[in-house]
Structure 1
Amino acid sequence: MSDPEFIAQLEGYGLTTAEVHFYRPDAPSLLQLFVWQAYDLAPNFPVLFEFLDHWRREIEAVLHSVRIAHERLIRPAEWRPIDGVISIQ
């Protein structure tokens, strides 16, 4: 059986990393950081937004900002033509 994360990558999912900056109720003057990572689809990021909705509903920390990085790990191969051939003897 294939790895579900590999199958997701073949379907277009890429590795998404989000830096979630937040304030906790017991320390409102302290900005804290949580790093979240999962496979998601850019540019809509449904998995990330589901996580952030859960955060808003269930966690008593107030979101300040979210910074997103995304990279498709499996993609078509890149190639470039070469103008000459070097022979090594």
Structure 2
Amino acid sequence: MASSGFRLQLQGYGLTTANILYRLPDYPKIIQSYIWQEYDLHPEFPELRKFLDFWMRSLDGPLHSVTVAHSNLIKPAELKLLDKEFKVH
């Protein structure tokens, strides 16, 4: 069975990493960092948007900035269908 991450990659999802900077609620002059990583679709980033909506709705630390990096790990030219199966012990 293929993993869910591999299946998502075949559907066009790529690995998305967001560096989220936010202010501490009790100490607003201090900025903290949170790293979020998930498979997501470029350029809309629906999964990241859902997470950021949750953050703004439910968490006390106000967002300062979000930096996003995205990479499609599997590209169409890298995938070939074969008609053979090889078993390794």
SS of structure 1 residue aligned to 2:29 = strand
User: How many residues are treated as equivalent by the alignment?
Assistant: 78
Query: Counterpart of 2:57?
Result: 57
1:44 partner letter: E
Give the CA deviation at 1:76. 2.7
| Structure 1 portions without partners, runs of 5+ | 79-89
Query: Counterpart of 2:34?
Result: 34
Greater strand fraction, Structure 1 or Structure 2:
1
Q: Percent identity?
A: 51
SS of structure 2 residue aligned to 1:50 = helix
Q: TM-score, normalised by structure 1?
A: 0.84
Q: Pairwise CA RMSD of aligned residues?
A: 1.1
Q: TM-score, normalised by structure 2?
A: 0.84
Query: Counterpart of 1:71?
Result: 71
Alpha-carbon separation, structure 1, partners of 2:31 and 2:51? 20
Give the CA deviation at 1:77. 3.0
Q: Are residues 1:16 and 2:16 paired?
A: yes
2:17 partner letter: T
| Structure 2 portions without partners, runs of 5+ | 79-89
Structure 1 runs of 4+ aligned residues shifted over 3 Å read none
